[in-house]
Each structure stands twice: as C-alpha cells, then as structure tokens.
Amino acid sequence: MNEYRRLMVNGLWRDNPALVQMLGLCPMLAVTQSLVTALALGVTTLVVLTASNVVVSATRGALHPATRLPSQILIIATFVSLADLILQAWYFELHQRIGLFVALIVTNCTLLGRAETFASRQPVAAAALDGLMMGLGFLWVLLAMGAVREVIGRGTLFARFDLLLGPWAQSMSLQINEDGFLLAVLPPGAFLTLGCIIALKNMLFPQERR
Amino acid sequence: MNGPVWTGVKSLGARSGSLMAMCMICGTLMSGLFVVTRERIENNQHEYAMNALREVSGNPDADLAEMADLNSASNRVGDRYRIIDDRGGHIYTIDTNDGYNGRIVLWLALDDRRNIRGIRVREHRETPGIGDIIDHRVSSWLDQFIDRSGVNPGSVGWQLRIDGGEFDHVTGATITTRAVTRAVLRGLATAQEQGNEQGNDRATEEAANE
C-alpha cells in the first residue's frame, strides 16, 4: 500500500512531470491559451501515457533488451495515432485547434521517460497507477495554467467548452472581465505563468527545492 | 566456432522477430481504426469547410457547388465555390502580400451582380491585438464592405479614409487594413474579368444589354 501511495505523491507533486521534471513543455506552453484546449490535451496525454505504460509493462518479458526502446516508441506512437483519429472523428473542431500538439505527444519526454524508467521494470498494476498519476500531475498543471492564462488574457473562463461537451456547454462560459491582458495568451505569457507557478511552489515548499 | 555465430543469428532473429511482431500488431490496430473512422472524418472535414463557406456567403442555408476540392478547404488562390441560393454568385479565394507580416488569404463572396456578400480571413499572421482586427472573430471591421461592389464607391472611394477613400481604417493597423482593402478591390476586378470571359452571370448580361 505504501508503494502505491508513494507513486501517487510522486506523480501529482514530488516528481510532477511539468513542475519538477520540466518535461513536455512544448505542448504545455502551446495549448494552455485556454482551459478547454488545456483540458483536451491533458486528458489525451493522460490516456496515452496510462495505456502505453500498461502495454510496455505487459510486454516487458517478451521484448529483447536491444529492441526495447524502439518498441516503446512504437507503442507510444500507436496510441497517439489512435487518439488522433478518435479526436478527428468525434471532436473535429477541437482537433482543428490542438491537432498539431496531439501528434507531438509522441515527443513528450514524460511518456518515454515513464515507459523506460518505470513501466519496463514494474508489474502492470504499478505501471498503470504510475501512468495515471503522472498523467494527472501533468493535467492539473495544464489546467492551472490554462485557467490563469484564459482569465488574465481574455477575461473569460470555460469559454468554448461546447467543443468538448456539445452545444449545451455554451452557457458554461463565464465573462469575468470585459477585456483581457493580451500578453497572457501570447507565448511569453506561457513562460511567465509557468515561472510564477514554479516560483510559488518553491516559495511555499522551500525544502523540496532541487 | 559455430556456437557463437549461431547464438548471434538466433538472438538477431529473436530481436527483429519481436519488433516485427510489434510493428504488425500496431499497424493492424492503426489501419483498423483508420478504416472505421475514415468516412466520419471525411464527413467532418466536408461539413467544416461547408460551414465556413456558408458563413462567408452570409446565408446559413446556402448550398455550395464544389468548383474545387472542398475536402481540403484549401487556401489555394483561385479556388472558387458557386453559391446556390436566390442571390447566387461565387466565393473566391484571394490573397495579398502587402500585410504587416506575411501573406493574408481571404474568402470573398460576391452575388451574381458582383456585390459583396461577405468576406472572411482564412489565414493571416498579423499582430495579435492590433492587425488581427481583420479576423471576423475579433472584430466586424470587414462587414463595412458588405453590399459594396467594384463601382460602389468609385475608384477614389475604394481606399481607406486616411488615403482619401470611404472605408474606415484602424489606427495602428493601417498597413494591414490597407492591404486587405486593396486585395478586395483586386478580387472584384478579377471576378469581373472571369465573369466577362464566361459571359454567363447576370451582371455581364445586363452590361451587354445596355
């Protein structure tokens, strides 16, 4: 039980892929302009990460050490392609916005990192939990950044959730401010927001600073 | 001697064998889902392109004849779509390189008397917050061209107010708005040339009768 507890704490906080390991920054900075795109890419990454962890762990006995890395990349790339097709088929308009970064999940080092350092040496259940927790750790940072940047940059929150949930979600959009501070949705705003979140974390928990 | 060589061949076989099996499984999965989702994705692409075209035409119920490959919803200049409703006319794809930052691609919808039905920007890289007022999602600046034509206003009027014409410019985005205004006028001229060559639209017939 302690082992599982440790996996949860590591993924969500202590070894958080976005805040501590600083992996997958490219898609993270690009899709956090709004909450809906951050949620969509975060969930896609979570699903792909968990699924690839499970398969990598399940096939770890059958694979020759020399071909382990190419096999892992193959597994991750397959799940990303499947996710990409599913998004195109059922969430087409959303895919128009985040499509480029869905394909880039393959190059998100979090996935290969977890496959190689964890899933390829651990039983399926532990690998699944690790993927889930690392994915959730990535997701909550994406959501925090998406929310902050949308509120500051556009003055809205939950805008365009109909892309994800269907027409009824149009009423979810909140107008918090009349105007936005444009910098927040531009690329530099992504770095500033991430920097502020990391600084806040280091300030509140100085003993964890690396 | 034979021992090590044989072992080498065997392990090579084992290595490539497991990787090949992996490739086949992954490939089958991907092609399977591709076949299942293909029709749906193509429908989505078609519907997305049609909706964008209907929006330009200003009539949400208009039918559009494909005079080009609609699936691509491409930005190729010269692509034309025929609008089928009581106002008729075509949607033209035009572009300009006179903007502030790179090429601007526009869709220009004219009715069969070559009055402007609507204009939308398909592609631009103008400065967010300044030059992007030509984007209809940002501002309705483009709507001032609706119902204008190549002869309304005359050639002097077909300029920005700052240049002595009739159209509103936007402070800070003069270059962008001037580029779009000139591109639209050029598009009207091209449409007239094409109409004269084909001699089959109402405006050309009326001109011939006079």
Give A124-158 pLDDT, tens digit per residue.
Answer: 999 999 999 999 999 999 999 999 999 998 888 98
- Decide if pLDDT at A64 tops 90: no
- Decide if pLDDT at A14 tops 70: yes
Within 8 A of A186 by CB-CB distance, chain B residues are 128
Choose among B16, B23, B37: nearest Cβ to A74: B23
B31 in reach of chain A (CB within 8 A):
no
Among B122, B133, B125, smallest CA distance to B172 is for B133
Choose among A64, A78, A89: nearest Cβ to B37: A89
More confident residue, A62 or A115: A115
Among A139, A195, A190, smallest CA distance to A26 is for A190
How far apart, in whole angstroms, are the C-alpha atoms of residue B163 and residue B176? 14
Contact B141, B170 (CB under 8 A): yes
Provide the pLDDT for residue B2. Answer: 46
End-to-end CA distance of chain B: 100
Provide ipTM, 2 decimals.
0.82
- List B80's β-bridge partners, or say none: B92
Cβ–Cβ of A70/B129 closer than 8 Å?
no
Residue ranges of alpha helices (H) inside chain B are 2-57, 174-198, 202-209
How far apart, in whole angstroms, are the C-alpha atoms of residue B74 and residue B105? 10
Task: Output the CA angle A188-B173-A189, nearest 5 degrees.
Answer: 10
Average pLDDT of the residues in B90-105: 91
Within 8 A of A82 by CB-CB distance, chain B residues are 29-30, 33
Contact A17, A132 (CB under 8 A): no
How far apart, in whole angstroms, are the C-alpha atoms of residue B64 and residue B201? 16
End-to-end CA distance of chain A: 27
What is the percent of chain A with per-residue pLDDT over 70, rounded to a whole number?
A: 98
Residue type, B97: N
Provide the pLDDT for residue A27. Answer: 82
Q: Alpha carbon of B15 to those of A71, A118, A126: distances in Å?
A: 11, 22, 26
Domain locations in chain B as residue ranges: 57-209
Per-residue pLDDT band for B8 (boundaries 50, 70, 90) equals low
Contact B67, B93 (CB under 8 A): no
Residue type, A159: A
| Lowest-confidence pick of A27-31, A123-127, B70-74 | B70-74
Among A45, A76, A75, A55, smallest CA distance to A124 is for A55
- List B66's β-bridge partners, or say none: B81
Provide the pLDDT for residue B1. Answer: 43
Tokens for A138, please give them. 């990535």
Q: Which residue of A59, A92, A120 to mutate against B (max B Cβ within 10 Å)?
A: A92
- List B63's β-bridge partners, or say none: B84
How far apart, in whole angstroms, are the C-alpha atoms of residue A18 and residue A108? 11
What is the percent of chain B with per-residue pLDDT over 90, rounded to a whole number?
A: 37
Provide the pLDDT for residue A175. Answer: 86
How far apart, in whole angstroms, are the C-alpha atoms of residue B99 and residue B176? 5
Cβ–Cβ of A182/B128 closer than 8 Å?
yes
Per-residue pLDDT band for A46 (boundaries 50, 70, 90) equals very high
- List B160's β-bridge partners, or say none: B167
Looking at every residue in chain A, the average pLDDT score rounds to 89
Burial of residue A38 (number of CB atoms within 10 Å: 0-12, 13-18, 19+): buried
Choose among B16, B29, B129: nearest Cβ to A82: B29
- Decide if pLDDT at B151 tops 80: yes
Cβ–Cβ of B26/A186 closer than 8 Å?
no
How far apart, in whole angstroms, are the C-alpha atoms of residue A119 and residue A116? 6
- Decide if pLDDT at A208 tops 80: no
Contact A166, A156 (CB under 8 A): no
Query: What SS3 class is residue B64?
Result: strand
Distance of CA A8 to the CA centre of its chain: 16
- Decide if pLDDT at B6 tops 60: no
- List B92's β-bridge partners, or say none: B80, B108
